[in-house]
Structure 1
Amino acid sequence: MASKLLDKLRRTLFKEGEAVFKEPVDVPEDSFPESAELEDDTECLSERLGGTLCFDGENVLQSEDPEEASGQDSDSDFLGESVEDGFSSTETSPVVQSSGGSSLLTRQLQENWKSMRSLSLPEKLMFEVTDASVVQASSSKYVLYTIHVIQSGLFDKRPAVITRRYSDFERLHHRLRRRHVDDMERVHFPRKKLRKNFVAETIAKRSRAFEQYLTHMHSLTELRCSPTFLEFFYLGDLQDGQMLMRVGHYQEALGPLLNSLRLQEKLGCERQGKQQPHFQQRTHWLFTLLALVTSFQELEQLGEAQEHCDRALRDLAPSPEALQQRHFHPLLIPLLQANVRLSWKISKDKRRWEVLLQEIQNSGVDVGNQPSLKEYLMKENLVESERDTKGKGKGDDTT
């Protein structure tokens, strides 16, 4: 209808390509289309484009089972990870509505996602330098880099943070090269500069280099499980927390202790400690939990204290065979006693741990003469798995 009207006006105003001026033509009112007709043409245009340019979220949601999509294991989580891993939303297949097909695809994605999460695969971590500040100390000047350690593929509600300087990274690199020659053969480290160490361009380049360096180290299985690499992240906070506890500053100790716990969680120290009973990280992991138990208990935050106490017990609970042979951790009994007291104070079920404590007592073990958790925490010597006495302090005043 609209095209016929345009042709009629064109023939009236032009003669075979030559424009002429004429009096306005009185077009009858009936010649114009009704507004409803124009709306119909618009709807047809929308329908023709709707197959490829449909951004209506409601249509997508209708193709999913509401109960399945609402859970944390829904395929929306899986697709969210795909986008994070580099896939663009324009590369995904269009949603095709068919009887049963969409819900079947959703269930398949859920099953695949659950099977992937059930495997003991290491979490993919991102290392992001979020700040770099120049620090002027009494006898030195250096750049302090703030690095966020974030789990990729999902929204990380509790990112962990470390602050390191150039000399810290350099010391880590030297230690890894000594212990992992083959893996470190082709790994290059940012070299020192004689000048322009504090200009923005140098700091930016080094920030990016440190991100790539940590990402590469974490991608290699042998290095990812190396005590030298793991302790680079969490051991400093753990030592700071112990020092603050020794002087009775329990509130201030919570910050580094909780950050150390989050770092160990992200790096998989708990999982590695269970796989290797004599692994040094198992001692550090248990120390962190017990330090949090003691600090929260001193601050009268009994719920948090019992939560971490229960978590440590789930890790230390012996098997029936080990219990019969009296093979269990020396801190198991004081930890059981502490958990029973805490659970009683906050009215939480404690029967499981009371039964275990009674079984240990029935086996002939003296449960009354046990060291306190606080005594153990104060005396424990938190040392690095690899003592570097030769290189200790070398390059401390560099950037």
Structure 2
Amino acid sequence: MASKLLDRLRRTLFKEGALSSEPDGHGADEFPESSELDDDMECVSDRLGGTLCFEGDGMVDSEELGDVSGPDSDSDFFGESIEDACSSTDTSPIGPSPKSNLLTRQLQENWRSSRARSIPDKLIFEVTDASVVHETNSKYVLYTLHLINSGTFDKTPGIITRRYTDFERLHNRLRRRYGADMEAVYFPRKKLRKNFAAETIAKRSRAFEQYLSHLHSVPDLRTTPTFLEFFYLGDLRAGQMLMRVGRYQEGLVSLLNALRLQEKLGCAQLLQFQKAHWFFNLSALVYCFQELEQLSEAQEHCERALQELAPSHEALQQRQWHPLLIPLLQTNVRLSWKISKDKRRWEALLQEIQERGMDVTNLPTLKECLIRESLQDNEGKLRGKSRGEDAL
């Protein structure tokens, strides 16, 4: 706007001959071209624009704004750490008002929560121990891995112990069934010698971490039964065997670890074998907690399973429901009565099933269902041992 006004004034003066009478001949040089003024305006616009930096030490390309302060300035809040956001007001002789402190705290909490939401959870595979095991006719290295969720402090990592042949079996099975996805996957090979040297074990530990991380990064591989069962199925079988012989406390350790592994791998959202294994694990935990007189924990896991197993109205009409549904309903009603929790919803569901002609009195108990369950892998095999099975 200013450049247009000056340009119009210059043309008017030239038209009246006012500038032609000047002896020194400066004339039009005293009035810059409109393009030059436009450039100056662009520079001003650039200087006022600035760039906010959320992770750095300050703002970028903003020398003129370096001394800016006040309620509209973002330099304190984003250029510095969030904890020091109000350092200038804290040292003020007048002191901050309660209202401004409240606003600042709200902004800090919103910023922290939005930043936490922006960090995606990632599953980390970490070898925490590698020990040489001597048996009668064999010698091997046993690797202990922790599965940890990043983004937050993971207090309950999933833990597995595997040897080289376990990883090799996993690799061969994945190559056989998912060859196209496994073409670019590197697997550490055995050496002819020095397999038990500390340097070799350390390098192989890092290689196994990278190997599992790579598999988990491929969507078509991380949801396959072969990959998932490599982690949790051994503990699930061990828990079942320990439960069969009445060693409920030891079985609880294996089952809880299997549940943590299933949760971290997302098995609750999957179907077929993984969903069946998920419900078996919750039901086995219910029974073990119940036998150990930990009734609140038993009822909590029972409720968790029933929330997913509860059939729709159409399924009830067609008498289609999970085999564990009725034993879990009966167990949950008893547990809820003992610990004084509301059981009306599950009593009503059990009553509705009975009204549809289902005899719920002559069905297998929860323990009988769990002991009879065959925990096969997706290839129908039962091989493989875990820590719990070794103890039997």
- Give the TM-score, by structure 2 length: 0.71
Residues 81 and 154 in structure 1, CA contact (< 8 A), matched pair in contact too: no
Q: Which of 198, 201, 218 pairs up with 1:200?
A: 198
Provide the rounded CA distance (Å) in 2 between the counterparts of 1:244 and 1:203.
32
Query: How many pairs are equivalent?
Result: 300
CA gap 1:319/1:142 in 2 versus in 1, 3 angstroms: same
> Aligned pair 1:76/2:112, yes or no?
yes
Match of 1:310 in 2: 303
Shift of the alpha carbon at 1:387?
4.6
Match of 2:142 in 1: 144
Match of 1:369 in 2: 362
- Letter matched to residue 351 of structure 1: R
Match of 2:315 in 1: 322
Q: For 1:193-342, list aligned pairs within 5 A.
A: 193-273=191-271, 279-342=272-335
Shift of the alpha carbon at 1:68?
7.3
Match of 2:44 in 1: none
Shift of the alpha carbon at 1:346?
0.2
- Give the TM-score, by structure 1 length: 0.70
Shift of the alpha carbon at 1:267?
0.6
CA gap 1:387/1:196 in 2 versus in 1, 3 angstroms: farther
Shift of the alpha carbon at 1:202?
0.8
Residues 144 and 163 in structure 1, CA contact (< 8 A), matched pair in contact too: yes
Match of 1:30 in 2: none
Match of 2:72 in 1: none
Shift of the alpha carbon at 1:392?
8.1
Structure 2, unpaired ranges of 5+: 1-65, 70-74, 88-100, 386-392
- Counterpart of 1:203 in 2: which secondary structure? helix
Residues 81 and 153 in structure 1, CA contact (< 8 A), matched pair in contact too: no
* Higher RCO, Cα 8 Å, sep 6+: 1
Shift of the alpha carbon at 1:64?
6.0
Residues 130 and 147 in structure 1, CA contact (< 8 A), matched pair in contact too: yes
Q: Which of 85, 92, 95 pairs up with 1:59?
A: 85
- Letter matched to residue 166 of structure 2: D
- Counterpart of 2:358 in 1: which secondary structure? coil
Q: Which of 352, 360, 370 pairs up with 2:353?
A: 360
> Aligned pair 1:171/2:164, yes or no?
no
Q: Which of 349, 355, 364 pairs up with 2:342?
A: 349
- Counterpart of 1:204 in 2: which secondary structure? helix
CA gap 1:55/1:361 in 2 versus in 1, 3 angstroms: closer
- Counterpart of 1:255 in 2: which secondary structure? helix
Q: Which of 171, 182, 188 pairs up with 2:180?
A: 182
Shift of the alpha carbon at 1:155?
2.0
Residues 82 and 108 in structure 2, CA contact (< 8 A), matched pair in contact too: no
Shift of the alpha carbon at 1:388?
6.5
- Counterpart of 1:357 in 2: which secondary structure? helix
Displaced runs of 4 or more, over 6 A: 50-53
Shift of the alpha carbon at 1:308?
0.5
- Letter matched to residue 320 of structure 2: H
Provide the rounded CA distance (Å) in 2 between the counterparts of 1:69 and 1:189.
46
CA gap 1:379/1:54 in 2 versus in 1, 3 angstroms: closer
- Letter matched to residue 372 of structure 2: K
- Counterpart of 2:363 in 1: which secondary structure? coil
Q: Which of 131, 137, 151 pairs up with 1:133?
A: 131
CA-atom RMSD, angstroms? 2.7
Provide the rounded CA distance (Å) in 1 between the counterparts of 2:172 and 2:196.
23
Taking only the aligned residue pairs, the percentage that are identical comes to: 64
Provide the rounded CA distance (Å) in 2 between the counterparts of 1:68 and 1:339.
45
Provide the rounded CA distance (Å) in 2 between the counterparts of 1:341 and 1:236.
31
Shift of the alpha carbon at 1:345?
0.1
- Letter matched to residue 359 of structure 2: D
Match of 2:372 in 1: 379
Provide the rounded CA distance (Å) in 1 between the counterparts of 2:104 and 2:352.
49
